[in-house]
Structure 1
């Protein structure tokens, strides 16, 4: 029987197919078990984060920041200083983009230094494997341009992310104000109202939820209310929330009604959002005119003028030439 299996190609192929199926099935079982375990752990972490009032994405971002922070620490142990500790402008820009980790400036500098060498290195590697070698001057110029791009691209990314974060906070803040106003008028205190709204807005406006939950946690930890509200304004880096924090601090010190203050400010924020929407709507005709002039107008002129041009070429031009 063994000799028949060894001498028959069909039996050997069938045996190999069976072995392959068994090995593949075992691997799939192992992978599915590991994946199910990972999904269960993620689900538990998500439920814990919702119960604690902290969004899941903040946990993931903190773990990533810790990994990059350990890399930055290892590089700084070799004697290379990745950032200037007195560079408050850089820290402010990173906070506006949402990177509030203490190691964010070092990670930013590490990324910029890496990009300076990675982009020219990739270009030189492609040149090395290319059959046509460019001139040395051209390679030098392109490598210098790529190094400058690697130095400037992280800055563009941080600025773009800061602008998107600011726009998201500004657009969602009137909704948060309305919810805070409803909570305060329903009888909740300011701390309870901020905590309630922060938990309710985890899925709809995650950034505002993080800011409100952080402010609430500071108050519960024993920080004065004015200090927690100032920290809220500093963390958001948005003028509307700065005005909101200043308004609450003044109302708290002067003893005025917080509900009436919030009602007036919420109406102003809704009106400001409506005005921003109208401004964008009024910009649409101007923006549409650019493709109209650049694309459609030359085609329309060509369609209208082409019959006349053909008539001139066929009839008037030969007559003028004496034909």
Structure 2
């Protein structure tokens, strides 16, 4: 057979064409597979960019760049033999996530910042006094250095707590709108995952923190996590009582087989009522808060305006008459 192919020009051309067709078909299939994979990746990238606004994306890129620089610094310090681990790493990691810092290196960066503040704040005050020619008291230097060191130890915790509280308040304020939109999506026939994704993309401008939370949950569901695990992880990340109760309600509805739409409708009405009560509470606090600047600022001015003519008359008429000079 091989000799016939070698002797016959027609057979040689037929074999060459067959090999060419086979190689071309294999190359075509490989290119098509790669192109389809690239198209899928491009679509996923477009969906993720569409889900996150441009400003949030830019802020996220800047935060990632800063975090990477700090992470490199912490790695170099730990390579030198100095540990930046905390005594309770899980609790610190939870606080960092609640404040919006999801990087695994965030607790170490936080510990490094605290150490730097403990050293830098006393140095900025104590070293110039030691370098000056004026005599200084060692007791005053010690008290100032100790106070500033304690301040450097406390300030990062205060900042972390304030940031977490601010994020938590923004999530609480935007969550009733999220429930209303999710109720509309569920009643329109969407599943829970599709409703979460749709609401996250719709709320990127009005309530970006709520959208970020829902998007993270959607990505966990797509990655293969169960509905219960994703919802409990959402509640643990935000540390908001309303979202924790919402997650528990959805998990119970899923286990018991009850209607998710009915659950969302009832909980949405409760959330709107709570938001109205919070607004009324702030409105009732306004008179009490306004009384402080009124008493401190306006009352002395009013007393001065009312009493000034009488004081002038006393000085001009009554005082000379009492001294006998009039």
The normalised TM-score by structure 2 is: 0.78
**Alignment match, 1:262:** 264
Q: Find the residue that maps to 2:289 and give its secondary structure.
A: helix
Q: Deviations over 1:208-257 (max 9, x none)?
A: 11111111111111111111110111111100000100010011111111
**Alignment match, 1:80:** 82
Deviation at 1:159, TM superposition (A): 1.0
Counterpart pick for 1:68 among 45, 70, 73: 70
Q: Find the residue that maps to 1:202 and give its secondary structure.
A: coil
Distance in 1, matches of 2:114 and 2:80, equals: 18
Distance in 2, matches of 1:101 and 1:67, equals: 12
Deviation at 1:197, TM superposition (A): 1.0
Distance in 2, matches of 1:297 and 1:243, equals: 48
Aligned length: 278
**Alignment match, 2:303:** 301
**Alignment match, 2:153:** 151
**Alignment match, 2:218:** 216
Deviation at 1:320, TM superposition (A): 2.4
Q: Deviations over 1:16-73 (max 9, x none)?
A: xxxxxxxxxxxxxxxxxxxxxxxxxxxxxx9675146585133433343232222212
Relative to structure 1, is the Cα distance of residues 314 and 303 closer, same or farther in structure 2, using a 3 angstrom cutoff? same
Relative to structure 1, is the Cα distance of residues 63 and 319 closer, same or farther in structure 2, using a 3 angstrom cutoff? same
Gap regions ≥5 residues in structure 2: 1-44
**Alignment match, 1:4:** none
**Alignment match, 1:98:** 100
Following superposition of structure 1 onto structure 2, how do residues 179-190 of structure 1 map, counting pairs within 5 Å? 179-190=181-192
Residue 52 of structure 2 corresponds to residue 50 of structure 1 = no
**Alignment match, 1:163:** 165
Following superposition of structure 1 onto structure 2, how do residues 14-29 of structure 1 map, counting pairs within 5 Å? none
Following superposition of structure 1 onto structure 2, how do residues 106-185 of structure 1 map, counting pairs within 5 Å? 106-124=108-126, 126-127=128-129, 134-185=136-187
Counterpart pick for 1:230 among 218, 229, 232: 232
> Rg bigger for which structure?
2
Gap regions ≥5 residues in structure 1: 1-45
Relative to structure 1, is the Cα distance of residues 150 and 47 closer, same or farther in structure 2, using a 3 angstrom cutoff? farther
Q: Deviations over 1:91-124 (max 9, x none)?
A: 2222221122222111111000001111222234
Q: Find the residue that maps to 1:248 and give its secondary structure.
A: helix
Task: Please provide the CA RMSD for this pair.
Answer: 2.3
Residue 194 of structure 2 corresponds to residue 195 of structure 1 = no
Following superposition of structure 1 onto structure 2, how do residues 284-295 of structure 1 map, counting pairs within 5 Å? 284-295=286-297
Report which stretch shifted further, 204-213 or 293-302: 204-213
**Alignment match, 2:312:** 310
